[in-house]
Structure 1
Amino acid sequence: MIIQNESKTQEIKQNMRGGHGNVEITHITDSEILGKNCRLFAQITVKPGDSIGEHQHTGEQEIFYFLQGKGMVVDNGIQLQIGPGDVMVTPDQGSHSVVNTGDEDLVFMALILNENV
């Protein structure tokens, strides 16, 4: 199966999870392809100064793979700087947030896997 770029869907979320500004979400696949084990596979773009607010995951885990830009994350209460090539894994019952602290877009892949399937 090939998913061509023009078939991907995009959405903009304002003040995502209590964060600031707009977050662009490009869905790589839809729920029919993902199946019951995966809730989200997407490329996320956070503009300079914008953020995704701190939130908890319940019954699922989320993995971020950072591709471009610089940012600050809070991972279960611990604040860390991130950049290209870094990975953040938020387990079931874990919490996280992301802020773009750089001068360019912060771009990362996000994968949410359901725990109890």
Structure 2
Amino acid sequence: MKYVKDKNWLEKEGYSKKIFLDENDLGTKGARVQEIKIKAGEVAKIHHHKIQTEIFYFLNKNGYFIVNGEKIKPKVGEILVVEPNDKHEIVNNTKEDFLYLCFKINYSEDDLYWDE
């Protein structure tokens, strides 16, 4: 059994994240579970991953995704799967934080490519 207590936010460009579990915790190479926060008015700029898949579970509806040019406005409890090479950006155009969980498959530190 693993019980994860609250973690600290790590500040990144356009977003913050809490890494709850990584491959060492999960015993699976490239697996990761984290919470993402896009602050009010912020944007996580367009990017893609060549090998990793991201599965997003939405905790609120304070923003939207653009995936391969398609705007997606998720509702609480919905899931979005972003596959390798899907270009995606996340926009929070509200006055509150946009929060969601991210489950990563085949995660690698160097698998992030900015598309701007």
Between stretches 55-64 and 78-87, larger displacement belongs to: 78-87
State the superposition RMSD in angstroms.
Answer: 1.9
TM-score, normalised by the number of residues in structure 2: 0.79
1:89 to 78, 81, 84: 81
1:36 CA displacement: 0.5
Structure 2 residue matching 1:70: 3-state secondary structure: coil
Mapped to 1, the partners of 2:9 and 2:72 lie a distance apart of: 28
Aligned positions of 1:1-117 closer than 5 A: 1-6=1-6, 8-15=7-14, 23-34=15-26, 35-38=28-31, 40-114=32-106
Q: Are the aligned partners of 2:55 and 2:102 in contact in 1 as well (CA < 8 Å)?
A: yes
Q: CA deviation at 1:4?
A: 3.4
Letter of the 2:29 counterpart = K
What number of residue pairs does the alignment pair up? 106
Inter-partner Cα distance in structure 2 for 1:101 and 1:85: 20
Give TM-score, length-normalised by structure 1.
0.78
Indicate the SS of the match to 2:33.
strand
> Aligned-pair distance for 1:37?
4.1
The letter of the residue matching 2:39 is: K
Give unpaired runs (5+ residues) of structure 1.
Answer: 16-22
Q: 2-side partners of 1:71 and 1:107: how far apart?
A: 9
Structure (1 or 2) with the greater helix fraction: 1
How many percent of aligned residue pairs carry the same amino acid? Answer: 26
In proportion to residue count, which structure has more strand?
Answer: 1
